[in-house]
Structure 1
Amino acid sequence: MWFTTRILFARWCFGRRWIIAGNHACRHYKKDSVPLPEGPASPASVTEIRQYLKAQNIPFHDGYSCIHVPSIFAEEPQRVRHNYSLFIDKTTGFFLCTATFVEGNWQDFQASVELRHKGVVVSDLERTDMPRDHAAEDARHIWERALPLWELLDEQETLEAKAVFGISSVSNTTLKRFCVRYLRAARALVFPWFSPSGTSLKGLKLLGVERQGEAVHYVENTLPRPSAYHNLFGLPLINQRDTEVVLTGRELDALVVHQATGLPTLSLPRGISCLPPALLPYLEQFKRITLWLGEDLRSWEAAKRFARKLNPKRCSLVQPSDQQLCPLEAFTRGKNVFKILRSALPAGHKSIISFRQLREEVFGELANAEQVAGVKWTRFPELNKLLKGHRKGELTVFTGPTGSGKTTFISEYALDLCLQGVNTLWGSFEISNVRLAKIMLTQFAMGKLEEQLDKFDEWADKFEDLPLYFMTFHGQQNIKMVIDTMQHAVYMYDITHVIIDNLQFMMGQEQLTVDRLAVQDYIVGAFRKFATDNSCHVTLVIHPRKEDEEKELQTASIFGSAKASQEADNVLILQDRKLVTGPGKRYLQLAKNRFDGDVGIFPLVFNKTSLTFSNPVKSKAAKLKKVKDNDNGVPSKKAAANDDEASKKKQTQSLKNTVPAPGTFPNEPVTS
Structure 2
Amino acid sequence: MKDSLLVANKKTTKKIKTIMDSFFEENRKKQDSVIPEDVLLADTLWDQAKIISDLPPKDLEKMQIKFDIPEISAKSLDHFNVRYNQERSSLVFPHYGFQHHLTGFSVLVSRLRATPEDGTILKEEEEDKPKRAYVRLKESLPRGIPLGLFGYNSFSQKSQTVPEIILASSELDALAIHEATQRPVLALPNSVDHLPQEVLPLLEKCEKVTIWFNNDMRSWEAAKHFSKKLNHSRCFLIRPLESQPGPFEALRRGFNLKKILKQATPISHKSIVTFPSLREEVLSELTHAEQVAGVKWKRYPVLNKLLKGHRKGELTIFTGPTGSGKTTFMAEYSLDLCIQKVSTLWGSFEIQNVRLAKVMLKQFAQVNLEKNIDKFDKYANKFEELPIFFMAFHGSQTLDRVIEAMSHAVYVHDIEHVIIDNLQFMVGLGSKQAYSDRFAMYDNTIAEFRKFATENNCHVTVVVHPRKEKETEELFTSSIFGSAKASQEADNVLILQDRRLIDPVRGKKYIQVAKNRFDGDLGMMQLHFNKETLMMSPPTQKQKKKKKEEREGGISPANIEREGGDKYQIFEKLMLQSKSEDELGVGE
TM-score range, shorter chain: 0.7 to 0.9
Tell me which residue corresponds to 1:219.
137
Rounded to whole Å, the distance in 1 between the matches of 2:78 and 2:351 is: 53
1:572-601 Cα distance to aligned partner (Å, 9 max, x none): 111111166547411111111000100000
Structure 2 CA distance for partners of 1:170 and 1:556, relative to 1, 3 Å: same
Q: Match for 1:236: what amino acid?
A: N
Once the 2 structures are TM-superposed, how far is the Cα of residue 60 of structure 1 from its aligned partner?
4.8
Rounded to whole Å, the distance in 1 between the matches of 2:243 and 2:538 is: 41
Q: Number of residues paired by the alignment?
A: 527
Match of 1:207 among 101, 108, 129: 108
Correspondences of 1:428-577 after superposition (within 5 Å): 428-508=348-428, 515-577=437-499
Rounded to whole Å, the distance in 1 between the matches of 2:452 and 2:386 is: 24
Q: Is the 8 A contact 2:71 2:252 kept in 1?
A: yes
Q: Match for 1:224: what amino acid?
A: P
Rounded to whole Å, the distance in 2 between the matches of 1:463 and 1:321 is: 35
Structure 2 CA distance for partners of 1:558 and 1:162, relative to 1, 3 Å: same
1:527-569 Cα distance to aligned partner (Å, 9 max, x none): 0010001100000000111211121211111111111111100
Rounded to whole Å, the distance in 1 between the matches of 2:361 and 2:9 is: 47
Worse-matched range after superposition: 524-533 or 572-581: 572-581
Question: Is the partner of 1:482 in helix, strand or coil?
Answer: helix
Once the 2 structures are TM-superposed, how far is the Cα of residue 133 of structure 1 from its aligned partner?
5.3
Q: Is the 8 A contact 1:386 1:598 kept in 2?
A: yes
Structure 2 CA distance for partners of 1:663 and 1:202, relative to 1, 3 Å: closer
Match of 1:142 among 45, 65, 86: 45
Tell me which residue corresponds to 1:189.
91
Rounded to whole Å, the distance in 2 between the matches of 1:315 and 1:215 is: 39
Rounded to whole Å, the distance in 1 between the matches of 2:179 and 2:432 is: 60
Structure 2 CA distance for partners of 1:412 and 1:150, relative to 1, 3 Å: farther
Q: Is the 8 A contact 1:136 1:201 kept in 2?
A: no
Q: Match for 1:145: what amino acid?
A: Q
Q: Which sections of structure 1, spanning at least 5 residues, go unmatched?
A: 1-53, 71-83, 89-94, 106-124, 622-659
Match of 1:172 among 74, 79, 83: 74
Structure 2 CA distance for partners of 1:194 and 1:383, relative to 1, 3 Å: same
Once the 2 structures are TM-superposed, how far is the Cα of residue 160 of structure 1 from its aligned partner?
3.2
Tell me which residue corresponds to 1:617.
540
Tell me which residue corresponds to 1:389.
309
Structure 2 CA distance for partners of 1:128 and 1:330, relative to 1, 3 Å: same
Match of 1:151 among 54, 63, 70: 54
Question: Is the partner of 2:440 in helix, strand or coil?
Answer: helix
Q: Is the 8 A contact 1:181 1:191 kept in 2?
A: yes
Correspondences of 1:299-318 after superposition (within 5 Å): 299-318=219-238
Once the 2 structures are TM-superposed, how far is the Cα of residue 136 of structure 1 from its aligned partner?
3.5
Once the 2 structures are TM-superposed, how far is the Cα of residue 300 of structure 1 from its aligned partner?
0.6
Structure 2 CA distance for partners of 1:268 and 1:620, relative to 1, 3 Å: closer
1:384-429 Cα distance to aligned partner (Å, 9 max, x none): 0000000011000011111111101100100111111111100000
Once the 2 structures are TM-superposed, how far is the Cα of residue 137 of structure 1 from its aligned partner?
3.6
Rounded to whole Å, the distance in 2 between the matches of 1:464 and 1:619 is: 26
User: Is the aligned partner of 1:233 residue 2:150?
Assistant: yes
Q: Match for 1:144: what amino acid?
A: D
Once the 2 structures are TM-superposed, how far is the Cα of residue 211 of structure 1 from its aligned partner?
8.1
Structure 2 CA distance for partners of 1:130 and 1:458, relative to 1, 3 Å: closer
Match of 1:293 among 210, 213, 216: 213
Structure having the larger proportion of residues in helix: 2
Question: Is the partner of 1:252 in helix, strand or coil?
Answer: helix
Q: Is the 8 A contact 2:105 2:147 kept in 1?
A: no
Structure 2 CA distance for partners of 1:364 and 1:152, relative to 1, 3 Å: same
Tell me which residue corresponds to 1:161.
63
Q: Is the 8 A contact 2:167 2:212 kept in 1?
A: yes
Rounded to whole Å, the distance in 2 between the matches of 1:479 and 1:291 is: 35
Rounded to whole Å, the distance in 2 between the matches of 1:210 and 1:360 is: 39
Q: Is the 8 A contact 1:662 1:670 kept in 2?
A: no
Q: Which sections of structure 2, spanning at least 5 residues, go unmatched?
A: 115-131, 545-550, 556-575, 580-588
Tell me which residue corresponds to 1:24.
none
Match of 1:370 among 272, 285, 290: 290
